[in-house]
Amino acid sequence: MLGGKVKISKVSNKEVAKRNILVHPPEPPLSIIFGDPTNGIFIGRTKILHVPFYWSYENVTNPHIAVVGISGSGKSYFIKTFLLRASFVWNSNGLIIDWAGEYRDWVKETGGKIIALGKGSFLNILDLGGMKPYDRIKQVMRTLELLTDIANYPEQRRLTEQAIEKAYVKNKFRMDSKDQKDEIGKLLLPPTLKDVVKLLEEQASLGNYEFPAEMENAIYRLKQFTKSGEDFFAQQSSVSLDELTTSGLVDLDLSGLPDETFRALGALTILQFIKEKMRATGWAKEKGLRLIIAMDEAWKIAKEENSDAVMIVREGRKYNFGIIVASQNPTDISEAIFSNVGTTFILKVKFERFLDYLQGTLNFSNYMRNEVSKLGVGQAAVNMAFHATSQYPSTFLVDKIEGEEPSKEYFLELGSVLTLKQKRDINMAKSVSFLKEDFRRKVRQYGVTEEKIEEVSKLFEKSNRHIDVVSFVILLERYGLSRRNISDFLKDSGIDDITIINIFGKVDVKKNELGGRDITQVILEE
Ligand SMILES: Nc1ncnc2c1ncn2[C@@H]1O[C@H](COP(=O)(O)OP(=O)(O)OP(=O)(O)O)[C@@H](O)[C@H]1O
Ligand SMILES: [Mg+2]
């Protein structure tokens, strides 16, 4: 207390207002910005006071995060940095709902897991995910209403719902029980949409239903999900929910699905199961977040007010589940989500309409608005919804999101030359990697010209930095390298002799197959 003595002097209000900086410090206090580094995620330094900012959700209304900004402003970069650090600091699991498959390589590199719906992984939307059939059916119907036109046709809706119910009953499920075992304790097998279609077709073939056109349309609608080759959601699941939520970093790659409806169906179904699991797992007194679900540009499922994303957002805090939603267009994120988000990372935003929306929702100053429109890549304004009304500003600037460096490695894939047994052997390397600079230095050493080095580097970049080793060797031969040199190069990269012999064997076979085709073209297609 200023030496215990307070001196009173006459200062006009106007004078005090000018000293604004003292009344309202430009950034929240250290206790908030720089909390416990073992219990927070380092983001970067604040712009004005250069304090390291460790994000934690202790002082905010909830752990969910929104990230907005124009294309290229750094949203995906932020998400990657955040998930990686959360896994170090809190051991958090991360699930990326990956619309376009853009996180795939990164997740692979960090040692995470890829689950590719539409490319070999299936999800039965009639799985119960721990729910009673009765509740699950309601959810499935809601999903169909969101993704198809079924809501406009009450009779078709009724027929569909009834048939789904029959399909469960036929497989011995009881509508109001979570118990999924039969009388001798064997796990019941959930029906699939194919069973539902079959039941409807049987009903139609009886010929005594009075609105055959309604029946036909109901069947037709469901069949879009059961066609062979597009029955990703109408087969028994190959994906387990535990695998998705407790395996560290997981990329749910939806890019292999044929269209937006399928992608949304996959994302929504997973969120529904996660919501149920979250409720079943119960309240958690733990340090940090148990699971972080990242949804990048998943506007279709983040827009609906009653979507399951919104429910996870509403209840997540008590279960230590967090959601990150990112979008170029903040108005695409439903208000229910926005109002339940504890932190918003505002990267560069240009459009006045979006700035209006953000300023209206988050209530920051015109000064901040102006700053936001001028931000560079990776720079951000952070808005935090603090528990208590505070004396300090709730929006402040971060100089730069200090992320992990972008990938610096190239990979030669060995998959095509390994035996099945080797492929299954977890100790067997499935690829060899090089730091980009090392790679260039090495091939230079074996006599590849600068021009060719440039060409092969570009090929790596265009192929997501992974090239099949057989194609790569054919390319080196085309550059005029002798087999002897190539062999030394491979050995030098840590590939064993037997594998090298296999590689050359495959090279001869492949060269025959190629005929006159250009190998660079083949690499790009692989
Ligand atoms: N904080 C940062 N530090 C260094 N580089 C960054 C940072 N943020 C982004 N970048 C780089 O800027 C580029 C664009 O970033 P990013 O892909 O994250 O943008 P985005 O907002 O997700 O764009 P889009 O909306 O098109 O997906 C990338 O090459 C990324 O590595
Ligand atoms: Mg992005």
* Pocket mutation for ligand 1, best pick of 47, 68, 77 (most atoms within 8 Å of C-beta): 77
Residue nearest (by alpha carbon) to ligand 1 atom 7: 378
Distance 152 CA to ligand 2 centre (A): 35
Using alpha carbons, select from 384, 404, 412 the residue that is nearest to residue 85. 404
Residue nearest (by alpha carbon) to ligand 1 atom 4: 378
Residue nearest (by alpha carbon) to ligand 1 atom 25: 71
The span from the CA of 475 to the CA of 471, in Å, is 6
Residue nearest (by alpha carbon) to ligand 1 atom 9: 74
With both helix axes pointing from N to C terminus, report the angle between 212-223 and 154-170 in degrees, rounded to the nearest 10: 70
- Spatial strand order of the sheet with 409-413 comes to 431-435, 409-413, 466-468
164: which residues sit within 8 A by CB, 6+ positions away?
126, 137, 140, 141, 191, 196
What pLDDT tens digit does each residue of the chain (526 aa) get? 334 445 555 555 555 444 444 445 688 888 888 878 888 999 999 999 899 999 999 889 899 999 999 998 999 999 999 999 999 899 999 999 999 899 998 898 888 999 999 988 999 999 998 899 999 999 999 999 988 999 999 999 999 999 999 999 999 999 998 878 888 888 899 999 999 999 999 999 998 899 999 999 999 999 999 999 999 999 999 988 888 888 899 999 999 999 988 998 999 899 989 988 888 887 777 788 999 999 998 776 777 777 788 888 888 888 889 999 999 999 888 888 888 899 999 999 999 999 999 999 899 999 999 999 999 999 999 999 988 777 778 999 999 999 865 567 899 999 999 888 888 887 778 889 888 888 988 898 888 998 999 899 989 988 878 999 999 999 999 999 999 999 999 999 989 999 999 999 999 999 999 888 888 888 888 8
**Ligand at shortest distance from the CA of 106:** 1
- Quick one: which atom of ligand 1 is closest to the CA of 102? 27
**Alpha helices for 426-496 (secondary structure H):** 436-445, 450-462, 469-478, 483-492
Q: Are 253 and 119 in contact (CB under 8 A)?
A: yes
The span from the CA of 183 to the CA of 197, in Å, is 27
Strand, coil or helix: what is 511? helix
Residue ranges per structural domain of the chain: 40-116+247-398, 133-223, 409-525
For position 526, what pLDDT does the model report? Answer: 82
* Ligand 1 neighbours by CB, cut-off 6 Å: 69, 71-77, 328, 377-378, 400-401, 403, 406
The two tokens of residue 223 are: 């069949």
CA separation, residue 124 to residues 190, 205, 241, 521 (Å): 8, 26, 12, 38
Distance 117 CA to ligand 1 centre (A): 26
**Ligand at shortest distance from the CA of 77:** 1
- Quick one: which atom of ligand 1 is closest to the CA of 379? 1
The span from the CA of 253 to the CA of 250, in Å, is 9
* Pocket mutation for ligand 1, best pick of 346, 377, 382 (most atoms within 8 Å of C-beta): 377
Task: Match domain 40-116+247-398 to its CATH number in 3.30.360.10, 3.30.365.10, 3.90.226.10, 3.40.50.300.
Answer: 3.40.50.300
**Ligand at shortest distance from the CA of 98:** 2
* Pocket mutation for ligand 1, best pick of 68, 70, 76 (most atoms within 8 Å of C-beta): 76
Distance 415 CA to ligand 2 centre (A): 29
**Ligand at shortest distance from the CA of 80:** 1
Distance 330 CA to ligand 2 centre (A): 14
Residue carrying structure tokens 């339940």: 340
Distance 77 CA to ligand 1 centre (A): 5
